Amino acid sequence: MDSVTEFELGYIEELGFVAGPVVSMGFGNVPVLHFAVEEYHPRWGARTSNPVKSVNDRLGGFNSCLFRQITATNKHLKSLSKYGGIMKNSSSSSSSLYRGIAFTLFAILFAGSVSAQSSPPSSPPTDWGPMSINLEEFEYPYPVEYMNFGVYGEDVRIAYMDVAPTGSANGRTVILHHGGLYYGWYWSKQIKALAQEGYRVVVKDRLGWGKSSKPIIPYSISLWASNTARLMDHLGIEQAAVVGHSIGGQMVTRFAFLYPERTTHLVTVNQVGLTDRRFGRGFQSLTGEVDANPDMEAVYTNLLRWASGNYSAWHPEFLEHMRIRYGQRLSGDWPRLAHVSRLTGHMRAMDTVVNDRQHIQTKTLVLGGAEDYPTFAEEARHAANQFPNGEVFLIPNVGHNPHEEVPDTVNAELIRFLGS
């Protein structure tokens, strides 16, 4: 009997969730044990039945999810036969909340050799080292400026890039908002394309992430939206198109709801929290233990899982995300960043924007990689239909980060929509 597997599966069964074990090979040939759970994730607000991302540690070491992945070993595989079918606690009253019957499958993908071009290295490069939580040593693609202000009695600053048009200026502005554990720099290809089309492009690092301050405060989606309005005032921008990826999609939706007169276009890119599943969420502590001497091999394994779950195809430039997250775990300020990550991560589920949509008259584009998770395409279409002036654009065979995986496709659609 394998005690870890027994605990994982038994705990899910005890909660009344329908689950099934899945094994797949992630980037770097890391065997990963997943649980297909027909329930909405308490943090992400999305159904966790994806065999590749079911309980994926998408946070690359920032694991504050209710469920977790574990690396599959021989003893895990031997114990799976006991759990080959659907499990459900018959005494659970939560079954009425399920929107369908969970699929379960057990698949072991062939672990052949993978070239360096198609996957990240199986171990961290030797030149990787500590990185500050404010990314002082990381160079962004355009000059970074700062806006200083006060919030909850603390002096903070927000980092941003303000890029002038490189083509014939059209007098319009686009503000790009990054996702939960990302940074403004990953919009570099969109910045270049939009600037060439004549747009002024502003990209900010959200308060609590990137080069911006990391205060310990009660974060909210509305707070982040108000920060964008404050930045617009700071830069003398009356109106702008707002684009947001992942949790940034939630934030720009709230911005369009709160500041309709300042929003010309609204674009969400693989937004998290497309559904409202606040009822029945499991308890999650806002605090937890942080290992002062983390197992960096385990950290890197988590990063490989994260990469497998977020990208349908690997490109070498994606390694920068892993280098940053790996290096920050070695920073002496890591406990602070981990705390802020926990505080901000809960906003995905606690501060839903689902009920904002029907009140937003702004022209809206719901854009995304269709393979983000099994029900993403369905939920994206539903979300677009809830916006009075919404439309949807789904990209097949692409995952959570389409602006990085297929930038030309995303750029063309952004330029079309923003020019409409």
Residue range 79-99, pLDDT digits in tens: 333 333 333 333 333 333 333
Burial 328-355 (b: 16+ CB within 10 A, else e): bbeeeebeebbbbbbbbbbbbbbbbbbe
Q: What is the mean pLDDT of residues 405-411?
A: 98
Q: How confident is the model at residue 280 (pLDDT cuts 50, 70, 90)?
A: low
φ, ψ for residue 164, nearest 5 deg: -75, 155
Neighbours of 397 (CB within 10 A): 11
Question: Which DSSP symbol is given to 325?
Answer: H
User: Could you tell me which residues are beta bridge partners of residue 148?
Assistant: 157
**In which residue ranges of the chain is CATH 3.40.50.1820 found?**
145-276+352-418
Q: For residue 337, which of 226, 218, 216 has the smallest C-alpha distance?
A: 216
Q: Please say if the pLDDT value at position 249 is more than 60.
A: yes
Q: How confident is the model at residue 287 (pLDDT cuts 50, 70, 90)?
A: low
Residue 282 CB partners (closer than 8 Å, separation 6+): 15, 42, 66
Q: Please say if the pLDDT value at position 51 is more than 60.
A: no
Q: Please say if the pLDDT value at position 64 is more than 80.
A: no
Q: What is the mean pLDDT of residues 377-383?
A: 98
Q: What is the mean pLDDT of residues 331-345?
A: 90
Q: Please say if the pLDDT value at position 335 is more than 50.
A: yes
C-alpha neighbours within 13 Å on the C-beta side of residue 293: 0
* CATH (residue range 145-276+352-418): 3.40.50.1820
Residue range 119-130, pLDDT digits in tens: 888 899 999 999
Res 278: pLDDT: 66
For residue 403, the SS3 value is helix
Res 370: pLDDT: 96
Rounded Cα gap, residues 21 and 283, in angstroms: 23
Q: What is the mean pLDDT of residues 96-103?
A: 33
Q: Are the C-beta atoms of 376 and 270 separated by less than 8 Å? A: yes
Identity of the highest mean pLDDT range in 82-91, 160-169, 347-356: 160-169
For residue 156, the SS3 value is strand
